[in-house]
Amino acid sequence: MKQYLVILLFFSAVAFSCGDAGTSSTVLSLSDLPEHAEITDYEDIPGLSRVSVNFGNKIDEQGEYYQGNRNGSWTVYHSNGMPKTITSYVNGIKHGAHLELDNRGELTLMANYVNGYLDGEHTSYQRGKKAETLYYAMDQLEGQKIKYYTNGKVMEQSTYKAGKIHGTAKWFDQDGNVTIEYEYENGELIKN
């Protein structure tokens, strides 16, 4: 539970420090909420509302809206009450950190958005261990892609440019020895 609270505080700080995120076609506003959503206005901050979407006696998702759009951390829950996703929004657009957790509370994905686009490190985890790390620039793969064995050693390492594999791609055995190596240029295999 402490881990969840630290993560939630981190996301709140990141989201409110991001400022204006610009515009995107995926703006989430109050009009997108289901009819049974509970909206509570904060009296001391005009335009700020706390929203909870409940199914039965359990909260399915919750977060804040400012001037009609999602702002700050938005949390979606598993049926057992554990957080499933925690996503930062600015003006209704994904902007900042995004986390996904399994129903035991273990981190399965950590990513970053800028103005609604994946941007920066995108790391997936399996049973608490790093499984894959990718880098994005404006929703396209850009830079290193690394896949890991369950023992933490590198399984595959390649580089992407403008969304296409580019440069040397290597595959390793579990002892760290290179087993396969290919050369790519703009997504095309040029040497194996």
Mean pLDDT by 10 residues, the chain (192 residues): 40 40 63 89 94 89 95 96 97 98 97 98 96 98 98 97 97 97 97 86
pTM of the model: 0.82
Three-state DSSP at 33 gives: coil
Tell me the per-residue pLDDT of 47-74, one tens digit each, with 9 for 90 and over.
Answer: 999 999 998 888 899 999 999 999 999 9
Interatomic CA distance for residues 15 and 70, integer angstroms: 11
CA distance 162 to 107: 28
Residues 22, 25, 28, 32, CA torsion sign: positive
